[in-house]
Amino acid sequence: MVLIVFLLYIFNRLLSILFNRLVRIPIARKNKILFAFRIISILILLYFIINGFPSFTTLPTEYTAIITGAVSTALAFILSGIFSNFIAGVLIWIVDPFGIGDVVKIGGHKGVIKSITLTKVVIETMDRIIVEISNSDVVSSIVLNYTIKLSSRKKYIHFKRQTRSPQDIGNARLDIDVYNEEIRKQEETDIKNFFTSFSENDQDIVYTYNFKMQVPYRHFRIVIDKFNEICAKYVDIFGIRPRFHVLEYSNEIAVKFRILTLDSNKILRYQPEFANDLYKAILSKIEL
């Protein structure tokens, strides 16, 4: 029994080390293969536990039945929670709602998927807090995946269409006074440069993150100009200028910011810094 557990553990560890060194295989595919082998390992282990080892054949039939029944009953009590998470993990593996590195919101937790195991999903939030969510809780929660998986990597028009936000459709823009031709050209240049970087890195996934901030009505236009300057500073970090749109316009104005990037770790590292710079811009104008 101990030998089989040890061999299965060593096999899965060696497989994980091997896949970590194979950089050409996408992370999502590596995770699925490792997940499948872990399922197989558990099934093999359960087979030997329930059906008995070869040495059990020398025992009388009634003793074999008693031992097998006792072990099965004990496992049912001990592993009931683990088994439910395991079944939920298999369901997640089949449905494939997200992969490692995806930006998601599960329940009340929003962040980047760091690992997916047979029993749990690990998320790192924007506050750099590691949250472990059991697979059964994941299945019973509403899951929002903000990651854009492009169906076509070669055509710019498809890339542009799939990466735009709902606010990009149409010409209604409250965040600037005049949406002129110069601004259109700048935005078109930004997305083309981002597409070039996307193609050169041979990717098929774009990570996005949205968040809102409240801006007082007073000095609103001045604050918006500051927002534009701050967004321009983060082009080199995220690969494209962050975008923002006005969602609500009253005494308190709600502004929605949107980050696009090819590396979700940049969202974890730089989004809090970006939000802090925006917050300082708002406060500096309130103090006037």
Based on its alpha-carbon atoms, the radius of gyration of the chain, rounded to whole angstroms, reads 26
Q: Which amino acid is at 119?
A: T
Read off the pLDDT band of 136 (50, 70, 90): confident
Whether residue 177 is found in the same domain as residue 131: no
Whether residue 165 is found in the same domain as residue 265: yes
Whether residue 160 is found in the same domain as residue 267: yes
Residue 40 within any structural domain of the chain: yes
Residue 177 within any structural domain of the chain: yes
Q: Do 153 and 203 contact (CB within 8 A), yes or no?
A: yes
Residue 92 within any structural domain of the chain: no
Q: How many angstroms separate the Cα of 46 from the Cα of each of 55, 91, 158? A: 17, 19, 48
Helices (H), 52-174: 61-78, 80-95, 135-139, 156-163
Whether residue 154 is found in the same domain as residue 281: yes
Q: Is 277 helix (H, G, I), strand (E, B) or coil?
A: helix
Q: For the chain, give me the number of helices (H) and strands (E)?
A: 10, 9
Whether residue 162 is found in the same domain as residue 138: no
Q: Do 104 and 123 contact (CB within 8 A), yes or no?
A: yes
Whether residue 133 is found in the same domain as residue 190: no
Residue 87 within any structural domain of the chain: no
Query: How far is 206 from 160, CA to CA, in rounded Å?
Result: 12
List pLDDT tens digits, range 203-243.
778 899 989 888 888 778 888 889 989 999 999 999 999 98
Whether residue 140 is found in the same domain as residue 153: no
Whether residue 135 is found in the same domain as residue 180: no
Q: Which of 145, 179, 203 is the last residue of a domain?
A: 145
List pLDDT tens digits, range 97-132.
888 889 999 988 889 998 888 788 999 988 888 999
Token reading at 99: 């992969």
Q: How many domains does the chain have?
A: 3
Residue 90 within any structural domain of the chain: no
Whether residue 232 is found in the same domain as residue 124: no
List pLDDT tens digits, range 158-217.
788 878 776 666 544 544 544 556 767 778 888 888 888 888 777 778 899 989 888 888
Whether residue 168 is found in the same domain as residue 279: yes
Token reading at 173: 């823009």
Residue 95 within any structural domain of the chain: no
List pLDDT tens digits, range 254-272.
888 999 999 999 999 999 9
Whether residue 42 is found in the same domain as residue 126: no
Q: Which amino acid is at 254?
A: A
Whether residue 71 is found in the same domain as residue 127: no
Quick one: DSSP state of residue 122?
A: E
The interaxial angle of helices 156-163 and 181-200, nearest 10 deg, is 110
Residue 167 within any structural domain of the chain: yes
Query: How far is 176 from 234, CA to CA, in rounded Å?
Result: 19
- 118: domain CATH number is 2.30.30
What residue numbers bound the domain in which 135 lies? 103-145
List pLDDT tens digits, range 271-288.
999 999 999 998 885 554
Predicted confidence at residue 140, as pLDDT, reads 83
Closest listed residue to residue 33, CA positions, set 46, 45, 19, 23: 19
Predicted confidence at residue 237, as pLDDT, reads 93
Q: Do 147 and 112 contact (CB within 8 A), yes or no?
A: no
Query: How far is 58 from 34, CA to CA, in rounded Å?
Result: 37
Token reading at 104: 């998601």
Q: Which residues pair with 144 in a beta bridge?
A: 105
Its pTM stands at 0.67
Residue 37 within any structural domain of the chain: yes
Q: Is 166 helix (H, G, I), strand (E, B) or coil?
A: helix
Predicted confidence at residue 150, as pLDDT, reads 76
Query: How far is 51 from 38, CA to CA, in rounded Å?
Result: 20
Q: Do 19 and 33 contact (CB within 8 A), yes or no?
A: yes
Read off the pLDDT band of 51 (50, 70, 90): low
